[in-house]
Chains A and B, each alone.
Chain A
């Protein structure tokens, strides 16, 4: 008797839920947990930002948004898993602009910048050109003068070939007409340690590298100087028309039903306003900066075009720099 009673109770609870989930319409979205793929390992700045954003989305939608790390291949493993996922809105992912725009030009990937529906950009960080401790350089001009007199003598480290900092350094060399030697590392960890040990001369990093690690920078690649980095001039103020940043946002596999996309875009915009998100982003060196779906897509497409050309002209022609 007891068993039948609890069974029937379970049925009355479970049946409508089952029906609801099978018949769920776009208006009800979301009715179950959402998976947010993070294409980098746990603990890094992309992961921490992605997790904080998942929290903010959870608060907005009222369902769990679970961060799921799928790392490997410079982010391309996670992004391909995302591209292959069902486009029902229940699998979304954090897409760093570099991974989604550069990797398809570096080698064959099962995705391209066109494989996704763009929801929003939520994080942004200006790049900063950091110098090794006791470096003789304090302005960009000094670096450029020295490099012009001694081509290939100065070295710069990057978190890997084909990453955004690498391509931005290639752009800087083209714009200023200097020649530097590229030393790729397996991520920022080993790379920044090598800079601190004086094994490389320059490194393209995030602003918090300067404040947290007591390093000096010669230029910041943003439009305006940053209040947290007093005395460090922008590249523009030092006479070269160039900006560079690391940013990323939320994307979904292409082909979302428009009503669901609309809801995700709305959630994305609201989540970017979360105070907790802003705190976490600040701690890892980013800031919350919202771009709508179209602007974010344009940013990725534009980066893909510029960097695709650079990769073809420089990296694929001469792998060493």
Chain B
């Protein structure tokens, strides 16, 4: 009880509340600007934590973290460019919705789903953090490999128009990520003697080039006889009935996000992909995925925001950061004299409680901030297109350069942009390429670690219960169309029954 009261008094301190509001708003803006992501936002704030007190520092960082992940969805929906890698899966249904004229509703859904995911994850975190940490560490290389493989089935989902081209794009993505140091031997691969390639292709330059810059090229190449999308409303929250109808996807995606957040090193980008793949498998509306289906948008956004709470589990209870962003947060905590780890929960309960409460507040701020700011952002769609596109180019270039001050990254942006344009021109979907790229390191490293640990035997991969379940889900997903076909053949009377699926 004492711990609770002292946490509450930390929470109601003026500087902490101001910090969380400011952090969230700044986070949303930075997240929404393509190329500038959560990591940059939080690194920029790190020096501020030297001057702020403990409570305010933590509040600021949590606000930025939640805000920036949500912010990425704004540009994903409005200009077909994920503002942060975490929103890569949001583009798939978000942008088609906006193009259809439902930008306001899409923003409403992403705001609702993000806040819901974040809040549900926080509640779970507060209740079950130490337990989740225990389950999380049971994930070894074998289980990571199985998880990565399941997430990879996303490629099938997003290649609805042309599976062969989708698979090729996915393979290409897997391959591009192979450039650089071999994770096991340390040898260089495909560096062609160029030193800059030895560090591999960066996720941010690759992603913004592939999506944002190629979008600019695409629009420049398009004939200009169509007028931009008609926006029916700037921001529209989904109705209660709609919300109830999609509650299942919301809850499930939030749970997936929370759980993946607890696994160190997987991250929000992969989480939104796993969640998207699972929603596609189980949603009654799965035929419409990729054409502007709110379920797809919800799956991605609820999951990636749930990750930010989930990632606090290993960070706080094991002292191991879940992703690069929580690594910076861990650093900030250490500087404040807090040592995350198993002992934190015993020795500094009030601080742990404070962090949970602050996450809750940050998610509410994010919801309100989203309502306030997305109309502002949706106005950018009314900017003259040449101006908008020029702004995107400037942002992409400065944003990418600001991360590492490495001119080579700009070259990557340019090449990825041209490649993206050519791929789109030839009918290749871009999303599978990003999915392959994001998952490639995890799949490769865990596969090879698993093989090293099991003396080169694949059998161990099937004997782990967790991995076996994931493999089964993967197989089920891939065989689903076949199963459905067989079902229909066996029971032809079902065809006559009017179905709500279509």
Residues on A lying within 8 angstroms of B by beta carbon are 41-44, 47-48, 51, 55, 68-74, 76-77, 80-81, 106-110, 155, 160-162, 181-186, 189-190, 192-194, 196-200, 212-214, 280, 283-284, 315, 319-320
Contact = CB atoms under 8 A, between A and B. Distances in A.
A197 B139 contact: yes
A160 B184 CA distance: 7
A196 B137 contact: yes
Contact of A186 (B185, B265, B330): B265
Interface in B3-51: 39, 42-43, 46-47, 50
A158 B362 CA distance: 36
Contacts of A110: 195
Contact of A72 (B200, B331, B337): B200
Contact of A190 (B199, B264, B329): B264
A181 B453 contact: yes
A61 B202 CA distance: 36
A73 B198 contact: yes
Given A160-B186, A161-B184, A189-B321, A43 B405 contact: no
B57 to A, nearest CB: 13
Contacts of A181: 452-453
Given A76-B198, A181-B452, A199-B453, A70 B404 contact: yes
Contact of B341 (A51, A108, A214): A214
Contact of A69 (B43, B136, B138, B341): B43
Given A73-B180, A76-B198, A77-B404, A283 B46 contact: no
Contacts of A212: 319, 339-341, 343
A190 B331 contact: no
Given A70-B404, A107-B187, A186-B183, A42 B198 contact: no
Contacts of B46: 42-43, 51
B375 interface: no
Given A51-B46, A77-B406, A284-B334, 18 more contacts: A42-B331, A43-B328, A43-B332, A47-B331, A69-B404, A73-B199, A107-B186, A107-B188, A161-B186, A184-B183, A184-B186, A186-B445, A189-B327, A193-B264, A196-B137, A197-B140, A283-B335, A319-B186
A214 B343 contact: yes
Contact of A283 (B50, B136, B200, B339): B339
B186 A283 contact: no
A161 B181 CA distance: 9
A199 B445 contact: no
A35 to B, nearest CB: 10
B198 A107 contact: yes
A213 B406 contact: no
Given A109-B195, A189-B265, A41 B185 contact: no
B320 A189 contact: yes
B435 to A, nearest CB: 19
B294 interface: no
A215 to B, nearest CB: 10
Interface in B445-478: 445, 449, 452-453
A283 B265 CA distance: 23
9 contacts: A42-B42, A69-B404, A74-B181, A77-B196, A77-B199, A186-B441, A199-B453, A213-B318, A213-B319
B427 interface: no
Contact of B335 (A184, A190, A280): A280
Nearest first, the 6 A-B pairs at minimum CB distance are A43-B331, A73-B199, A319-B185, A161-B186, A197-B137, A199-B140
A107 to B, nearest CB: 5
A73 B404 CA distance: 13
Contacts of A284: 334
Contact of B43 (A42, A155, A182, A183): A42
Contacts of B384: none
A68 B199 CA distance: 18
Given A69-B43, A70-B404, A193 B185 contact: no
Nearest to B184: A184
Contacts of A213: 318-319, 341-342
B193 interface: yes
A27 B168 CA distance: 62
Contacts of B331: 42-44, 47-48
B30 to A, nearest CB: 15
B53 interface: no
Contacts of B182: 161, 319
Interface string B128-165: 00000000111111000000000000000000000000
B327 A70 contact: no
Interface string B311-339: 00010001111001001111110110101
Contacts of B198: 73, 76, 107-109
Given A186-B445, A214-B341, A199 B321 contact: no
Given A42-B43, A48-B334, A196-B318, A315 B186 contact: yes
B186 A162 contact: yes
Contacts of B324: 41, 43
Contact of A43 (B137, B193, B200, B327): B327
